[in-house]
């Protein structure tokens, strides 16, 4: 499945942070640089994420790159033998099997770049992201700006009443907050 020239070059990179922090922008930037260097790239996203496009990975700033929408991480194992770089957006929406798939790809010489939320709307570790961060050679945590006070924001505060863990949304559903403002917002929510 993988060529001999890929041996010992595999690695895992994770880009994580809150909503509106630039995770997808950074993922697209890295993938475009790989394409510019004439590397063969495959890009995946969860099929449930149809906010901007059925197929493309699209940032909140409307930067986009063609991708393949998949329902299971195992679908990534069908890539062409010559693929050198795999990009994965919104990794928190995949089940735990994504960890084994990412490790398999990296162990077979593929550079895997994963982007996703590190915490859910409750401020708890989200899905397989903590494990992906632990096994990665490189982790970059990016931050948004708190809409309440202007400090660095690391939390995705849900502003609509919905207790589902997965709720795809934008500025109509979430706002980035710093720790202090996030704790204040949650304290007032509990009182209501």
More confident residue, 128 or 188: 128
Q: Which helix (H) or strand (E) holds 20?
A: none
Contact of 164 with 9, CB cutoff 8 Å = no
Mean pLDDT in residue range 152-173:
78
Question: What 3 state SS string does 92-134 have?
Answer: HHCCCHHHHHHHHHHHCCCEEEEEEECECCCCCECCCHHHHHH
Active site residue 90: yes
Which residue in the list 13, 25, 54, 90 is annotated as catalytic?
90
Q: What's the CA gap between 144 and 165, in Å, rounded?
A: 21
Q: Which fold has domain 4-142?
A: Rossmann fold (3.40.50)
Average pLDDT, the chain: 87
Q: Are 157 and 185 in contact (CB under 8 A)?
A: yes
> Average pLDDT of 152-166?
84
Q: How far apart (Å, rounded) are the C-alpha atoms in residues 52 and 56?
A: 8
Assess whether pLDDT exceeds 70 at residue 190: no
Q: What is the pLDDT of residue 191?
A: 60
- In the prediction, which pLDDT does 66 show? 76
Residue 1 pLDDT: 52
Mean pLDDT of the 148-172 span = 81
Q: According to the model, what pLDDT value does residue 152 have?
A: 97
Residues 55-105 have pLDDT tens digits of: 766 655 667 677 888 999 999 998 888 999 999 999 999 999 999 999 999
Quick check: 127 pLDDT over 90? yes
Local confidence band at 6 (pLDDT 50, 70, 90 cut-offs)? very low
Question: Is the pLDDT reported for residue 129 higher than 90?
Answer: yes
Strand partners, 88: 44, 114
Measure CA 115 to chain center: 2
Smallest CA-to-CA distance from 101 within 77, 68, 79 is with: 77
The DSSP letter of residue 6 is: G
Cα 181–chain centre separation = 24
Please report, rounded to a whole number, the percentage of residues in the chain having pLDDT higher than 90: 67
- Express each pLDDT in 24-61 by its tens digit: 999 999 999 999 999 999 999 988 766 655 576 665 56
Q: What is the pLDDT of residue 93?
A: 93
């Amino acid at each position: 499945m993988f060529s001999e020239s890929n041996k010992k070059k595999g690695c895992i990179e994770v880009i994580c942070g809150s909503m509106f922090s630039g995770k997808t922008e950074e993922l697209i930037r890295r993938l475009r640089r790989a394409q510019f260097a004439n590397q063969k790239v495959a890009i995946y996203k969860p099929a449930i994420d149809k906010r901007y496009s059925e197929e493309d990975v699209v940032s909140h700033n409307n930067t986009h790159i063609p991708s393949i929408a998949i329902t299971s991480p195992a679908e990534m194992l069908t890539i062409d033998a010559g693929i050198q770089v795999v990009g994965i957006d919104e990794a928190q929406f995949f089940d735990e099997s994504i960890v084994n798939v990412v490790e398999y790809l990296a162990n077979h010489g593929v550079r895997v770049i994963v982007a996703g939320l590190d915490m859910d709307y409750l401020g708890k570790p989200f899905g397989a992201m903590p494990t992906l961060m632990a096994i990665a050679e490189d982790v970059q945590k990016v931050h948004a700006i708190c809409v309440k006070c202007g400090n660095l924001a690391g939390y995705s505060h849900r502003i609509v009443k919905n207790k589902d863990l997965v709720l795809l949304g934008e500025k109509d559903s979430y706002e980035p907050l710093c720790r202090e403002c996030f704790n204040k917002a949650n304290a007032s929510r509990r009182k209501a």
